[in-house]
Amino acid sequence: MAEPKYLTAPDPNETGWPKGVPYIIGNEGCERFSFYGMKSILQIHLTMLFVATGLMQATAEEHAQEMVHLFVAGVYALPMIGAIISDRLAGKYDTIIWLSLVYCLGHAVLAVAENSIMGMTIGLTLISIGSGGIKPCVSAHVGDQFGKGNWHLVEKVFQAFYFIINFGSFFSTLLIPYLHAKFGASVAFGLPGVLMFLATVAFWMGRRVFVHVPARPGGHLGLLDAFSSIFLFLGCIGLPLFVGLPQIFEGHMPGLGYWVLTGWLVLMGMWIFEERRHISQDDGFLSIMMDSIESLISGASTRVRAALAPDIPADSLQRHWFFSASAKKFGEDAAEGPRAVLRIISIFFMVSVFWALFDQHASSWVRQASRMNLRVGWLTYDFTVFKYHFTSPGYLDLLPSQISALNPLMVMALIPFNNFVLYPVMGKLGFLMTPLRRMTIGMGIAGFAFAVVAIIQSWIDGSPKPNSVSVLWQIAPYLIMTQAEVMVSITGLEFAYTQAPTRMKSTIMGFWLLSVSLGNVLVAAVTKAQSWLMKLFFVVDPKEGPTLTQFFWFFAGLMACAALLFGLRAAFYRYRDYTQ
């Protein structure tokens, strides 16, 4: 029998760093540089394109903002498909390498068709497929490289991951807007494409030293799993999120074609899924959920509960109104997974409003910065060393897209502050900072950040001279929002991972990323609907229409309501201890 071409499991006797780690870290650094660099100039560049089509500046900004958030929504919705393809059909390495090529193709389209709305749409669609598809695979692929002997190094490798992400984000957010202003869009979009190509090459170079954990079940069953998941995703999530919801917010119901296509996708997905179940029974999330629904409708759940012996514990899932039949059929451990997922989803749903606010630092906050005084004064110097003269003009002219570089710097500073100062001090004062308490406070802080940007925008609107309010005022809302990010995003990942059974951790991460997508679709929908939506809450000038100040206040209020509801839900949540 021929030996396998690659390792399919880590060596348990290996105590040092896996040989594939440098290739993965190099890949992640280049990929994050390319993504954040490209994203940083989208609002400004798309606005220019829409203005070139004849739209007024304000309308062009709104169209650009809608497009930016739909793109980000796509990036965070598609990981659910990437995870299925990776885990069930192709394996992580093949999924990453092939979707990285799609990613590179998207960057190439942006670089050559940068002056076309259609070209930008095609390029961003390809990038969302590539970036979103590999997102759930890369970090899991890192974990696959470690075995029992070197598992203690996993924490350090993820710290390196987090550092390289922020490192790439900071420098690309400073550099790419400069290249866009100095050399044009083709160069600014081209460099991220080059970095993404280098990321793909770096990953390919490590193929012979990576541990390639095979997909399960793979083959014919894996293909059926992938197709059923893609059809169900498009019918239940994709079309409603990206077509149906925006049309409803625009003021009209989707047409007949939308409903026919949605229904066909769902029916096809269910048919393929049933064919898969007939071939071989599966105990994954979807299979147990479908079995539970069928049992509830047929009355099987009631019959199972009625036939239980008196000695079955009261908290047994076999006594659950929904999961009783599935717990008996698949086992209580398997049925506990979907119940945990549903419980955590009820938490994630309200977190999507936080993401609606957070991701606006790439859109509406850039719009605000473009209306501010971007000249920043600094210390002057004038001296000569070895006949070489050095002088400073005493100021620095920033670009609107560069201000968001504050975020990764602040993240790196606030994480140790929270972990070593804020949380311990709050604990000593008798207020235990549990994960859900942190998240509730963080969501309230995010609402406060938008109240601050609304106040700043009112100063800008009331200033008699254009671009007179200093952009340095944006440091305050960036600091507040970054604190909210640390308390919500990082804590949310910890909460999701610890509250999910081992077999459902990938599913939970998919739903966590989907909450980001839902938040961005919400921004796109509100942007599209603000002509009538803002009239429900504000006095809108019939000639000027809704203002950016009103837009900010709307999201500040929405976040306050979401934080309140989240806090009430968190108060009744019971933590579970799932050991790895």
Cα 349 to Cα 515: distance, rounded to the nearest angstrom: 6
pLDDT reported for residue 580: 43
Three-class SS state of 52: helix
- pLDDT band for 480, please (50, 70, 90 cuts): very high
Beta bridge pairs of residue 384: 389
Residue 28: closest CA among 87, 100, 98, 108: 100
Cis previous bond, 217, omega within 30? yes
User: Are 316 and 327 contacting, i.e. CB atoms less than 8 angstroms apart?
Assistant: yes
Look at residue 312 and give its three-state secondary structure.
Answer: coil
Q: What is the DSSP letter of 434?
A: -
Q: How far apart are CA 213 and CA 144, in angstroms?
A: 7
Pair 488, 40: CB distance under 8 Å: no
**Half-sphere exposure (CA, 13 Å, Cβ side) for 295?**
24
Query: Which pLDDT belongs to residue 497?
Result: 67
The pLDDT score that the predictor gives to residue 102 is 95
pTM of full prediction above 0.85: yes
CB-count exposure of residue 388 (10 Å: 0-12, 13-18, 19+): exposed
Q: How many CB atoms lie within 10 A of CB 429?
A: 8
Per-residue pLDDT of 361-395, as tens digits, reads 999 999 999 999 998 876 666 667 766 666 766 67
Q: What is the pLDDT of residue 1?
A: 42
Residue 348 near residue 497 (C-beta atoms within 8 A)? no
Alpha-carbon span 231 to 218, nearest angstrom: 18
pLDDT for 160 equals 77
Which residues on adjacent β-strands are paired with residue 470? 373
Strands (DSSP E) contained in 192-347 are none
579: pLDDT confidence band, cut at 50, 70 and 90?
very low
Say what the pLDDT of residue 524 is. Answer: 92
State which fold the 7-217 domain adopts.
Growth Hormone; Chain: A; (1.20.1250)
Question: Span 339-375+393-580: which CATH code?
Answer: 1.20.1250.20
pLDDT computed for residue 2 by the predictor? 47
Place of tokens 């609002």: 43
Same fold, 7-217 and 339-375+393-580: yes
pLDDT at 3 over 60: no
Average pLDDT over residues 182-187: 93
Contact 537, 557 (CB under 8 A): yes
pLDDT at 575: 78
pLDDT above 70: residue 20:
yes
Residue 350 structure tokens: 């309200």
For the cut 60, the answer to whether the pLDDT of residue 34 exceeds it is yes
Read off the pLDDT of residues 256-300 as tens digits, 9 standing for 90 and up.
999 999 999 999 999 999 998 889 878 788 888 888 998 999 998
pLDDT of residue 420: 87
202 pLDDT exceeds 70?
A: yes
Domain range list for the chain: 7-217, 339-375+393-580
Report pLDDT digits (tens) over 211-237: 888 888 888 898 998 999 899 999 999
